[in-house]
Homo-oligomer: A and B are copies of this chain.
Amino acid sequence: MSEKLDSVLETLKQDQEASQERLFEIIRIPSISTDPAYDGACNQAAEWCANTLTEIGFEASVRPTTGKPMVVGHYRSSNGSSGPNVLFYGHYDVQPADPLDEWDTPPFEPQLKDHPDYGSVITGRGASDDKGQFMTFLEACRAWHSASGELPVSVTVLIEGEEESGSPSIAPFFEANREELTKDFALVCDTGQWDADTPAITTMLRGLCSSEVVITGPSRDLHSGMYGGAAHNPIRVLARLLGDLHDDDGAVQIPGFYDDVHQLSTEQREQWNALAFDTERFLGQVGLETLAGETGHGTLEQVWSRPTAEINGIIGGYTGPGTKTVIPSKASAKLTFRIVPDQDPDKVVAGFKEFVMSRLPDDCTAEFLGERGSAAVGFDVSGPAFQAAAAALEDEWGKQPVFMGCGGSIPIVESFKSQLCMDSLLVGFALDDNQVHSPNEKYNLTSYQKGARSWARILEKLGSM
């Protein structure tokens, strides 16, 4: 460990009380982005972030958009020419706090409370998502600036205020400020750890594509007394073809669906197996016992690195109370496909159409609506930034970080990739039980403190890249 880092970590230690108070300050601002009643609070939160960045050596400003303002700050390190230039991303907006009566203490009055498993936790809306998380990075920067006089690398910070309401301003803002924001890669602090003792880097995010299929049989709804037995029933046609979508082993039967899907590397599989993921608990908390996916693939593989075909909605015929003896003219289903790196969303959707058309009885027609797709994102973990971050996290936590997948997508990571051609290093310190988006949101005090120490170490490693 370098002397500089040593003094940075010591500074973080000495500054813990003030650091906690700074987090409390920003939590106290009810910056709920979906509710216009809180527009003033959002502006106040943006100002607070810009002031904080300025205080720790950034050239920072609040940048208006047609929605909530962005905060952008630049820190030019003297090491800027040799080390990488990075963009750090967080968001100052929070989810609404309803239902208020389920909070033990008011959502915008943060408190330090004892917790049976974790010692002290910080409570309040945004304590974890994302105020506690982005503050770990700002506190690491503050300590570096204070202890060493400057950051080890040049850093641009972007803090947005619309993450909880769909980030409508991100695309135009990126478009208008492409050069200013495009760095070697992005650091994002909005994800979780593997568990309370084990850090993680999220390195793969599944993509998503969708299609809605409408099957038409007869030209109008028929009475089943008159036509029942003789006329095609589009619900039956739809059920039959959706029933064929998976084989008995849960594999998707769309032609070519797995053509571009890579097998998990042996190392990755071994690492995930070693985690001994608690499938029983994962399924048990939603009332299930049996893993329903593809035979021969473990739980983590099924949700992180295997593609899926899901029927998200189906409707046809009479769905009100009682019975109606109708043979409907139409029936439809909405499907989404979680896809993995190198699967082409257009090819997957085209394969689904082909699957439907090849099974369609002569008299029925199929219409396809609402198709859209975004590719999966997968990062090469052997790259120097990932290795640097992994080493730093291991130094702090005494354990190698888990390279995690994520079954869903994280829109900002896709925007960085598609608009600014940047990979993202996703490091976060949240835990599954942080109650984000729910009453009694909390962030462990150790997550906050060790999070800041982790970033301090990561910044140092990035500076030596």
Give A304 Cβ to nearest chain B Cβ, in Å: 9
Task: Please give, as numbers and ranges, the residues of chain B lying within 8 Å of A303 by CB-CB distance.
Answer: 226-230
Contacts of A409 in B (CB 8 A): 225
From B290, B336, B338, contact of A362 by CB (8 A): B290
Question: How far in angstroms is the closest Cβ of chain B from A261?
Answer: 12
**Total copies of this chain within the assembly:** 2
Q: Which residues of B contact A362 (CB under 8 A)?
A: 289-290
Assembly CA distance A22 to B340 (angstroms)? 78
Contact with B along A226-257 (1 / 0, CB 8 A): 11111111011011111111100000000000
A313 to chain B: which residues have CB within 8 Å?
235, 316-319, 324, 326, 328
A303 to chain B, nearest CB (A): 5
Q: A225-B406, A317-B334, A370-B322 are in contact. Are A233 and B290 (CB under 8 A)?
A: no
Q: How many residues of A contact B (CB 8 A)?
A: 79
- Cβ–Cβ contact B407 & A218, under 8 A: no
Docked complex Cα distance between A129 and B302 (Å): 62
Residue of B nearest to A232 (CB): B292
- Decide if A230 touches B318 in the complex (CB within 8 Å): no
Interface digits, A298-320 against B, CB 8 Å rule (1 contact, 0 not)? 01001100101011111111110
Query: When the two chains form their complex, are residues A288 and B232 in contact, meaning their CB atoms are under 8 A apart?
Result: yes
A259 to B: closest C-beta gap in Å: 18
Within 8 A of B (CB), among A237-292: 238-246, 279, 282-283, 286-292
Nearest chain B residue, comparing its CB with the CB of A286: B218
CA distance A315 to B327 in the complex (A): 15
A294 to B306, CA, bound (A): 40
Q: Is A408 an interface residue (CB 8 A)?
A: yes
Is A208 an interface residue when CB atoms closer than 8 A count as contact? yes
CB atoms of B310 and A325 under 8 A apart:
yes
Which single member of B222, B235, B286, B317 contacts A231 (CB below 8 Å)? B286
Against B, the Cβ 8 Å flags (1 = close, 0 = not) of A203-223 are 000101010100001111011
B407 lies within 8 A of A229 (CB): yes
What chain B residues lie within 8 Å of A323 (beta carbons)? 210, 212, 312, 334, 336, 370, 372
Contacting residues, chain B, for A326 (C-beta < 8 A)? 312-313
A317 to chain B: closest residue by CB:
B313
Cross-chain contact of A227 among B206, B322, B333, B407 (Cβ < 8 A)? B407
Whether B314 pairs with A235 at a CB distance below 8 angstroms is: yes
Residues of the B chain whose Cβ atoms lie less than 8 Å from the Cβ of A318: 312-313, 334
Task: Tell me the smallest distance from the CB of A447 to a CB of chain B, in Å.
Answer: 21
Q: How far is the CA of A223 from the CA of B338 in the complex (A)?
A: 12
- Give the contacts of A311-367 with B (CB-CB under 8 A): 311-319, 322-328, 331, 333-334, 336, 338, 361-363
**CB neighbours of A239 from chain B (8 A):** 238-240, 242-243, 245, 311, 314, 333
Question: A57 on the interface (CB 8 Å rule)?
Answer: no
User: Max chain B CB contacts within 10 Å: which of A208, A227, A230, A362?
Assistant: A230
Q: At the interface, yes or no: A224 with Cβ under 8 Å from chain B?
A: yes
The reply on A293 being an interface residue by CB < 8 A is yes
A311 touches B233 (CB 8 A): yes
Whether B317 lies near A228 (C-beta < 8 A) is no
Contacts known (A218-B286, A243-B240, A370-B322); A311 close to B227, Cβ less than 8 A: no
The answer to whether B238 touches A294, judged by C-beta atoms less than 8 angstroms apart, is no
Chain B positions within 8 Å of A407 at CB level: 224-229
Scan residues 118-135 of chain A and give those whose CB is less than 8 A from a CB of chain B: none
Are B336 and A325 in touch, CB under 8 angstroms?
A: yes
Give 15 CB contacts A-B under 8 Å: A208-B225, A210-B323, A218-B286, A225-B338, A228-B303, A229-B302, A232-B292, A235-B314, A236-B242, A238-B314, A239-B243, A241-B243, A313-B318, A314-B316, A319-B334
What 12 new A-B contacts, CB under 8 Å, besides A240-B242, A322-B370?
A212-B323, A219-B287, A224-B308, A224-B310, A227-B303, A229-B293, A238-B239, A240-B246, A242-B243, A312-B317, A314-B315, A323-B336
**Chain A interfacial positions (CB closer than 8 Å to B):** 206, 208, 210, 212, 217-220, 222-233, 235-236, 238-246, 279, 282-283, 286-294, 299, 302-303, 306, 308, 310-319, 322-328, 331, 333-334, 336, 338, 361-363, 370, 372, 406-409
